[in-house]
Amino acid sequence: MSVQERKQRERAERERLIVATARELAEEQGWDAVTTRRLAERIEYSQPVLYSHFRGKREIIGAVALQGATEMAVAVRAATAAADGPRARVYALARAYLDFAARNPAVYDALFQLDGGLAYAQEDTPEPLKDAFAALLESLGEVAGDGVDPGLFTEVFWASLHGVATLTRSGRLPPEYTEQRLELLVDRLAVV
């Protein structure tokens, strides 16, 4: 049994290597540069090895996305935990979100822009994704306002942040006034 266990361990280790390398490559040069050939060369295996771990490139993107979701949930919770009062928590959340998107553009793309073959907003949605949304909901639910469903409010707030994040990064919004946009968004959307 021990031999098989060792092999399984090594296999799992290699899978982590693939995901980590894909992520590195994507952050360095963008997802377009993450080709199966380059990725295979970096992990020092041949292309077909990738396909013994993942069905294809899409699944690799999905794996990076799940990793990113977990990290984003951590970042959001850390930021909100350090803030006093509902309003301050929402500010902290918004900053943490946009900061995460700006610092990890490739991961953000994998999560919310590219097709990683993941189910969103359904029963079979992977746990990390559900949890990332839950992390948003924990602080945003406090400021949804009377008669407004906290889930719906969270969706709207999230979508707004997503719009700012993506339009800014693609150069469609000038980056100078991001802070003012954030403040306007929080001031108007959050009910004290």
List the single partner that 58 binds among its own copies, DNA, none, CB under 5 to 8 Å by kind.
DNA
Closest approach, Cβ 14 to its own copies, in A, equals: 30
List the single partner that 152 binds among its own copies, DNA, none, CB under 5 to 8 Å by kind.
its own copies
**With respect to DNA, which residue has the nearer C-beta, 48 or 174?**
48
Q: Does 52 help bind DNA (rule: CB under 7 A)?
A: yes
Q: Does 58 help bind DNA (rule: CB under 7 A)?
A: yes
Q: Does 38 help bind DNA (rule: CB under 7 A)?
A: yes
| Residue 26 CB coordination number (10 Å) | 24
List the single partner that 163 binds among DNA, its own copies, none, CB under 5 to 8 Å by kind.
its own copies
Q: Does 46 help bind DNA (rule: CB under 7 A)?
A: yes
Contact in structure between 128 and 49 (CB atoms under 8 Å): no
Q: How many CA atoms lie within 13 A of 105 on its CB side?
A: 14
Q: Does 120 help bind its own copies (rule: CB under 8 A)?
A: yes
Closest approach, Cβ 49 to its own copies, in A, equals: 26
**Tokens representing 90?**
């929402």
**With respect to DNA, which residue has the nearer C-beta, 53 or 89?**
53
Q: Which residues bind DNA (CB under 7 A)?
A: 3, 7, 11, 34-38, 45-49, 51-52, 56-58
